[in-house]
Amino acid sequence: MIRVSQLTKRYGAVLAVDNISFDIEKGGIVGFLGPNGAGKTSTIRILTCYHPATSGSVHIAGLDVFKDSVEVRRRIGYLPESTPLYPEMRVREYLQFRGKLRGLTHDERVSAIKRASDRCWLGEFINRPIGQLSKGMKQRVGLADAIMHSPEVLILDEPTVGLDPTQIRETRNLIEELGREHTVLLSSHILHEVEQVCTRTIIIANGKIVASGSPKELREKFSAQGKIVAELRGPIDDVGKSIRALKGVTGVESSSDQGWVKVTVEMQPESDVREDIFKLASAKGWSLREIRRDGATLEDFFIKVTAQQRLKSA
């Protein structure tokens, strides 16, 4: 559905997007993650035909965003980060205006506005001037605008920024629902949100893609290089020394608390020393009250890969 090939974007001397390529299949929700200034918005603006690329190509639904720009724009729904709207217009007028620009007939507009306003909970606000709405309500108007023409591709840039917790949950549910009908590219800083709703995640840092896969795959990849935490009752020096001697262990940190020794064990990638620690404790006669893999989150993975990319660039 979306094919990005060797895409580069420069703003003068600043390289915002550095030769990135990725494909997104039809259907599902793809998270587009990255720290501020990573190149997310630049990439999205090229995908939505707002800015041209310096080099490379982007195809949406088989159409080139540069050569078939107007047709591509007909097939996408876009919610920009700041949700810019015309404050003097009423919500219904605005949606009418946007529907007309997209070439919807009168009847199509009436049903599209009804459908979109129902889905985005705009019913009671539909005749209000946009300037009188709260930030959350404006975000809903922007979302209704993005989905009203049932686009094949939906691009949402930080759709839950500025919303209260209830609105965030409602919007997240809506995005999940939309993911069943549309291909959704969701740019977000909220990693928890991406972890919850996205079927795939692309992480970008310093204009380059640094990781791609499902949130579960990325977590597992990070966990594979993760840590083991164990709590044993035994002499602290002996515990640390014995565990450090196990195969695959690269580092041990230990601390004592009311007779229990808490050890954090770093391992080589793909190693798992939990069974060895259990056998060791059994052999030494130490009590073992906890042993677990330190649960990695997408946030851990995100921080690690973006930090690595920053170091590389430096």
Residues that bind other proteins (CB under 8 A): 11, 45, 48-52, 70-71, 73-74, 76, 78, 80, 82, 84-86, 88-89, 93, 97-98, 100-103, 142, 145
Q: Which of 145/193 has CB closer to other proteins?
A: 145
For 164, the token pair is 């209260």
Q: Which of 183/242 has CB closer to other proteins?
A: 183
**How far, in Å, CA of 30 to CA of 253, rounded?**
38
- In the complex, the smallest distance separating the C-beta of residue 152 from other proteins, rounded to whole angstroms, is 14
For residue 288, how many other CB atoms are within 10 A of its CB? 15
Q: Which of 145/276 has CB closer to other proteins?
A: 145
Q: Phi and psi dihedrals of 154, rounded to 5?
A: -115, 125
- In the complex, the smallest distance separating the C-beta of residue 32 from other proteins, rounded to whole angstroms, is 16
Q: Which of 76/230 has CB closer to other proteins?
A: 76
Q: Which of 86/278 has CB closer to other proteins?
A: 86
- In the complex, the smallest distance separating the C-beta of residue 78 from other proteins, rounded to whole angstroms, is 5
Q: Which of 100/284 has CB closer to other proteins?
A: 100
Which among 29, 43, 55 is positioned nearest to 204, based on CA atoms?
Answer: 43
Which among 27, 31, 3, 26 is positioned nearest to 217, based on CA atoms?
Answer: 31
Q: What are the distances in angstroms from CA 180 to CA 26, 77, 148?
A: 10, 15, 16
- In the complex, the smallest distance separating the C-beta of residue 145 from other proteins, rounded to whole angstroms, is 7
DSSP sequence for 264-282: EEEE-TT---HHHHHHHHH
List, in sequence order, every residue forming a beta bridge with 249; answer none if it has no partner.
Answer: 267
Which among 20, 22, 32 is positioned nearest to 56, based on CA atoms?
Answer: 20
Residue 101's identity, in one-letter code, is L
- In the complex, the smallest distance separating the C-beta of residue 271 from other proteins, rounded to whole angstroms, is 49
- 9 contacts 50 by C-beta, under 8 angstroms: no
- In the complex, the smallest distance separating the C-beta of residue 111 from other proteins, rounded to whole angstroms, is 19
